[in-house]
Amino acid sequence: MNIGILGVTGYGGSVLYQLMQQHPHVDTIYLYGNPDKPAQKLSEVVDQFYLEDTMITPFDVTTVCQQVDCLFSATSAGVAKELLEPLFKEGFPIIDLSGDFRLTSEASYQKWYNKPHAHLDGSVPVTYGLTEFTTDYTTYIANPGCYATATLLGLAPLAQEKKLDPNFIVVDAKSGVSGAGKSLSTSSHFSFIDENLWPYKLNQHQHIPEIMNQLKKWDEHIPAIQFTTTLVPLHRGLMATMYVKLNQEMTQVQLDHLFEQTYQTTPFVHYLNRIPSLKEVVGTNHCVIGAVLNETTQIVTIVSVIDNLLKGAAGQAIQNFNQMFGFEETLALPVFAQLP
């Protein structure tokens, strides 16, 4: 089959292009860019693709429909809802790495993204593609955000069993600089972030509402979470550390068993009887989780680590693609961490 990528020049789009070139069921990859700019070679835009003669052509709905069977959109927030609405309404297969359709409420989108939401009539359903917990797919997949992925996978076993004190969920998440995208900003300057830590968007990060939407599906009694994000001087990688209080007494053995049971058949989510480090997942599509119970306070510390560009973006998008079209879930996805 043929696929298209809109937004290949960003970090997520570039990683997606690299991986999909290795997919055994993909014949041709078409690249699309700004509809108002002329076509150009990928090698002229992304230095790392200096051997690539593939052209990035202006995005055009008719051309996309003629050339590809599925479109990946790896643009920044606000672009997809403007360009893809005709495809969306026609039921064309789309996997969207942006946050444009993760939230169904116009008011919520306006609040968290500071942009107007696309005006859809609700007749076209959207799949929130948290792959380990998604079984039914529509033609439009909203790929979860990186912070949301790590957090939800860490909380899922306890939330689904309604074992959380709904008023005591604290998330302290840290991400490398690539999570902010390729656009230049003060916070991504070397002189700012090198040997520095920067907490930002405390309780204001745009991934919070999608986390809450999913948590409420698992346990409607959860009213809110305390959520802190911190930028750390790393290229890539994300660690979400969660502190939760149990609403019923458990032992460490019972806690381990619950997590192991939840993820025993998942190829990319793994529970360890120890706390993982970030380097165990960088360069892979894995999410590795560890949890430690304080049996005196019944407070659990959960650590969930992912590569923000893979499991947090392009990798999960490919997982969704594989599941959507009935391919083996692990195809084209890296499983070995970068060494050293």
Query: What are the tens digits of pLDDT across the range 231-290?
Result: 999 999 999 999 999 999 999 999 999 999 999 999 999 999 999 999 999 999 999 999
When mean pLDDT is compared across 58-62, 104-108, 194-198, 204-208, the lowest value belongs to: 104-108
The predicted-structure confidence for 7-48, as pLDDT tens digits, reads as follows 999 999 999 999 999 999 999 999 999 999 999 999 999 999
d(CA 78, CA 84): 11
First-last CA distance in the chain? 36
Domains 2-124 and 146-308 share a fold: no
Residue 79 confidence (pLDDT): 87
The predicted-structure confidence for 295-312, as pLDDT tens digits, reads as follows 999 999 999 999 999 999
Task: Give burial (CB, 10 Å; 0-12/13-18/19+) of 333.
Answer: buried
Question: Residue 120: pLDDT band by 50, 70, 90 thresholds?
Answer: low
d(CA 186, CA 192): 7
Beta-strand pair 299-306/287-294: antiparallel
Residue 118 confidence (pLDDT): 64
Residue 122 confidence (pLDDT): 63
Residue 119 confidence (pLDDT): 59
Domain extent listing, the chain? 2-124, 146-308
Side-chain-side CA neighbours of residue 255 (13 Å): 28
Residue 121 confidence (pLDDT): 57
The yes or no reply on domain 2-124 and CATH 3.40.50.720 is yes
Range 146-308: architecture per CATH: 2-Layer Sandwich (3.30)
Residue 185 confidence (pLDDT): 79
Residue 81 confidence (pLDDT): 81
Mean pLDDT (the chain) is 94
Positions marked active-site:
146
Task: Give burial (CB, 10 Å; 0-12/13-18/19+) of 45.
Answer: middle
Taking residues 142-170, report their average pLDDT.
Answer: 98
Contacts of 124 by beta carbon, 8 Å cutoff, 6+ apart: 88, 89, 91, 138, 140
7: left (phi over 0), alpha (psi -120 to 50) or beta: left
CA 321 to chain centre: 14
In contact, 298 and 250? CB cutoff 8 Å: yes
